[in-house]
């Protein structure tokens, strides 16, 4: 679940996800979300 930074709508599932892993660190999963109002945003996926 992620919140759109532009309109505050909550989006349940990302369109796509990928792992962001800097060298020597544990990676985090980032998701690309599209809110019901047509905004795209990226957020960390828990
Ligand atoms: Zn939005």
Residues 28-39: pLDDT tens digits? 999 999 999 999
Ion ligand 1 — residues with CB under 5 Å?
4, 6-7, 9, 35, 37, 39
Confidence category of residue 46, pLDDT binned at 50, 70, 90: confident
CA of 37 to the centre of ligand 1 (A): 5
| Mean pLDDT, range 5-33, rounded to an integer | 95
d(CA 22, CA 7): 30
And the tokens for 43?
């957020």
Burial of 33 (0-12, 13-18, 19+ CB in 10 A): buried
Contact 3, 14 (CB under 8 A): no
CA of 2 to the centre of ligand 1 (A): 11
Strand partners, 20: 28
CATH match for 2-44 among 2.70.98.60, 2.30.30.610, 3.30.360.10, 3.30.530.20: 2.30.30.610
| Mean pLDDT, range 13-36, rounded to an integer | 95
Percent of residues, the chain, with pLDDT higher than 70 = 100
Give the start-to-end residue ranges of the domains of the chain: 2-44
């Amino acid at each position: 679940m992620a919140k759109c930074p532009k309109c505050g709508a909550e989006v349940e599932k990302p369109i796509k996800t990928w792992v962001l892993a800097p060298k020597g660190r544990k990676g985090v999963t980032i998701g690309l979300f599209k809110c019901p109002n047509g905004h795209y945003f990226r957020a960390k996926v828990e």
